């Protein structure tokens, strides 16, 4: 029975290896959450093997997907079913599956937060009630807003604040700072806290951003991952931590400003659009930084 269900779900699709999936990603593009390295490393952390599938036409791959059973890989439902809930955190990341524009192939695996870029790639997508928060271009932020961000940065620096790139720290140091500041901000442990340093180390080549210090102590950090696709840059802001005792300096806001501005500069230097996702549009502060964009599900 299970085999019959799988054969129905996979009809038209062919099982392929990880290298074929990676080639499709490099050809068609994708997002942080579908990047070959992210899929491989986080599946290893979870201990759940990935089954890769490709849709071919005339001997050419038109789309490729990473799957966990009847779900797309990295599914929170699958993690929960395997007793691995919260083993890692990718937030509510944008899913851009590697597929040719206009391919219009049937996707029958369960998935959420599928990008509008995939809308004409797959014929079975349905719009979700939720939307994702996508960082606005610098020009879309008001002059007053940008002035205030620069002013907050100046006041922080005048009080002894220092901004240091994540590249200056080990994965263990970053994991410890993140888990500590997250706990202080939210008063509950970060998702994936137990293996945070390991996950950061596994995805280290994709990590970008800075850490804000005051009096030699970290006061703000964000987990931000970046990948470059052929036609765009995908950046995922997973989550962050802030020391609430330093709220007068708005270090979280300062860090959002610095991380988004540097990502825009990088994307524009490469002459590519930037998709900087703050995850689900579910908090007021995201409205200040982002535009809501529609996402889809199967």
User: What is the per-residue pLDDT across 38-85, written as a single tens digit (0 to 9) for each?
Assistant: 999 999 999 999 999 999 998 899 999 999 999 999 999 999 999 999
**Is the Cα torsion angle 23, 28, 31, 33 positive or negative in sign?**
negative
Q: What is the pLDDT of residue 282?
A: 85
Contact 22, 227 (CB under 8 A): no
pLDDT at 4: 67
Domain boundaries along the sequence of the chain: 2-131, 134-293
**Percentage of residues in the chain having pLDDT higher than 90:** 92
Tell me how far apart the alpha carbons of residues 273 and 231 are, in angstroms, rounded to a whole number. Answer: 7
CATH superfamily of the 134-293 domain? Gcn5-related N-acetyltransferase (GNAT) (3.40.630.30)
Q: Which ranges of the chain have pLDDT less than 70?
A: 1-4
Would you state the pLDDT for residue 133? 97
């Amino acid at each position: 029975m299970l085999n019959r269900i799988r054969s129905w779900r996979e009809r038209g699709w062919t099982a392929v290896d990880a290298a074929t999936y990676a080639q499709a990603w490099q050809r068609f593009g994708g997002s942080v959450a579908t990047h070959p390295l992210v899929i491989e490393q986080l599946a290893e952390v979870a201990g759940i093997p990935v089954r890769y599938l490709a849709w071919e036409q005339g001997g050419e791959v038109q789309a490729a997907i990473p799957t966990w059973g009847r779900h797309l890989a990295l599914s929170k439902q699958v993690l929960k079913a395997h007793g691995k809930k919260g083993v890692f955190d990718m937030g509510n990341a944008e899913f851009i599956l590697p597929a040719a524009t206009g391919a219009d192939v049937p996707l029958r695996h369960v998935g959420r937060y599928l990008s509008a870029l995939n809308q004409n790639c797959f014929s079975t997508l349905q719009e979700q009630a939720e939307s994702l928060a996508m960082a606005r271009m610098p020009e879309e932020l008001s002059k007053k807003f940008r002035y205030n961000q620069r002013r907050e940065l100046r006041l922080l620096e005048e009080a002894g604040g220092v901004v240091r790139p994540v590249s200056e720290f080990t994965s263990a140091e970053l994991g410890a700072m993140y888990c500590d500041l997250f706990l202080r901000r939210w008063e509950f442990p970060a998702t994936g806290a137990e293996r945070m340093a390991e996950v950061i180390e596994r995805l280290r080549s994709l990590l970008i951003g800075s850490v804000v210090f005051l009096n030699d102590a970290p006061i703000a950090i964000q987990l931000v991952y970046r990948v470059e696709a052929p036609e765009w840059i995908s950046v995922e802001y997973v989550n962050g931590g802030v020391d609430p005792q330093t709220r007068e300096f708005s270090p979280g806001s300062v860090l959002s400003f610095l991380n988004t501005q540097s990502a825009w500069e990088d994307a524009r230097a490469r002459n590519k659009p930037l998709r900087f996702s703050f995850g689900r549009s579910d908090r007021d502060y995201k409205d200040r930084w982002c535009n809501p964009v529609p996402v889809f599900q199967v």
